[in-house]
């Protein structure tokens, strides 16, 4: 596996994020915030409302 800078940039730009360490309750929120297309990312207000217990941790 190539761990160089170019490989890392490619993975960030092209692959889905690895959310294995993210608690299940937060995954949809994190996934939406990491959308490749900035126009697809939610604004801050909806993200706060989606956060469990309306808290950002």
DSSP the chain: ---SHHHHHHHHHHSPP--TTS-HHHHHHHHHHT-SSGGGS--HHHHHHHSGGG---
pLDDT, greater one: 49 or 38: 38
From CA 11, how far away is CA 16, in angstroms rounded?
8
CA gap 4, 26 in Å, rounded: 30
Count of other CB atoms within 10 angstroms of residue 29: 19
Does the structure show a pLDDT above 60 at 21?
yes
Does residue 45 carry a pLDDT above 80?
A: no
pLDDT of amino acid 37: 92
Across the chain, what does the average pLDDT equal?
82
What pTM value is reported for the model? 0.62
């Amino acid at each position: 596996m190539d761990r160089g800078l170019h490989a890392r940039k490619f993975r960030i730009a092209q692959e889905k994020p690895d959310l294995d360490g993210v608690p299940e309750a937060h995954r949809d929120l994190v996934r939406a915030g990491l959308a490749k297309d900035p126009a697809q990312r939610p604004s801050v207000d909806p993200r706060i409302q989606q956060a469990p217990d309306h808290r950002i941790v």
